[in-house]
Amino acid sequence: MIHHTIAIASIVASSCIAMPAVAQDAEADLLFEALGLPDIIDIMREEGVAYGAQIGTDLFPNQVTPAWSATVETIYDAEAMHASVKAAFIHALDDQDVTPMVAFFTSDLGETLVSLEVGARRALLDDAVGQASKDAATRARNDNSERFQLVDAFVQANDLIETNVVGAMNSNVAFYSGLMAGGAFDEALTQDQILNDVWDQEADIRANTSEWVYGFLLLAYDPVSAEALESYTEFSASDTGAVLNGALFAAFDDMFDAISFALGREAARVMGGQDL
């Protein structure tokens, strides 16, 4: 999950005045749209349905049925995903000044950046494009190209690797919890056992996350000037950028944890021979 932040030159003079709750929610709602989050969620749903199919192949290769596919489609319900992320996002921005965020992302540059991010994320649904982006990122890293350095600075400012690794590990814990809730194990696993198993996956998760993040960003921001990317990075390191990133991660992490738990629970039912 890549988050959208950019420098903004000015803040309205009245920004220090407390906004009515309705006005604040309206601005947060506008920001949600300006960030391209509805499109990103739709793409994440497509990614999730493919991931759910892979879970079926890995866990019960002899029992993958149309019923499992239908269950995955139900878990990755587009309307529910939109509602969950939007509510959590708006809640996370309560009492925050979102005016500078809205101002940028409704500007020409902001709209261009969002369009590039959405386009790159959609392109990565194609496995061939995904592999090509990873290969290109590896070459850029090995060459330590100027563009790689700019993207790396952006990654560091947003703490994208660490936050995505933590989010992925939390989702794995939720999946294990769902398996337990669905009766997948003869004996209940302790929380320590679950955490230890997930921590054993940390190195692989970190490597895969890094590979994907750099591949995605280098693809998305290829047309962006160095100056624009530097401004984006500068804002990301600011307090306002941190607030926006925190709201985005909180909103998406809540959704992914709920989905992962549901996938685990329903997978356990299939593994136990129960009808879906």
> Who contacts 78 (Cβ-Cβ below 8 Å, separation ≥6)?
41, 42, 45
| 2 located within any domain | no
Assess contact for 45 and 81: CB atoms under 8 A. yes
Q: Where are the beta strands (DSSP E) in 115-205?
A: none
Angle at 238 between CA 235 and CA 242, to 5 degrees: 100
Point out the least confidently predicted range of 65-69, 83-87, 164-168, 217-221. Answer: 65-69
Q: How many domains does the chain have?
A: 1
* DSSP letter string, 12-51: -GGGGSPPPHHHHHHHHHHHHHHTTHHHHHHHHHHHHHHH
Q: Indicate the DSSP class of residue 76.
A: T
| Token digits of residue 217 | 């960003």
C-alpha span between 213 and 133 (Å, rounded): 10
3-state secondary structure of 147: helix
C-alpha span between 205 and 89 (Å, rounded): 25
- 10 Å CB burial of residue 261 (0-12, 13-18, 19+) is buried
pLDDT of residue 274: 54
| 138 located within any domain | yes
Q: Which domain holds residue 112?
A: 18-271
Please, which pLDDT band fits residue 235 given cuts at 50, 70 and 90? confident
| 27 located within any domain | yes
C-alpha span between 42 and 26 (Å, rounded): 22
Report percent pLDDT > 70 for the chain. Answer: 89
The interaxial angle of helices 146-158 and 239-271, nearest 10 deg, is 80
What pTM did the predictor assign? 0.86
Helix (H) / strand (E) element for 67: namely helix 66-75
The interaxial angle of helices 37-59 and 78-92, nearest 10 deg, is 120
Please, which pLDDT band fits residue 24 given cuts at 50, 70 and 90? low
Q: For 172-211, what is each residue's pLDDT tens digit?
A: 999 999 999 998 887 777 888 889 999 999 999 999 999 9
Instruction: Tell how far CA 210 is from the center of its chain.
Output: 14
| 108 located within any domain | yes
| 11 located within any domain | no
In the chain, what's the furthest Cα-to-Cα distance?
64
Among 7-16, 181-190, 255-264, name the most confident range. 255-264
| 12 located within any domain | no
212: nearest Cα among 3, 46, 58, 2: 2
| 146 located within any domain | yes
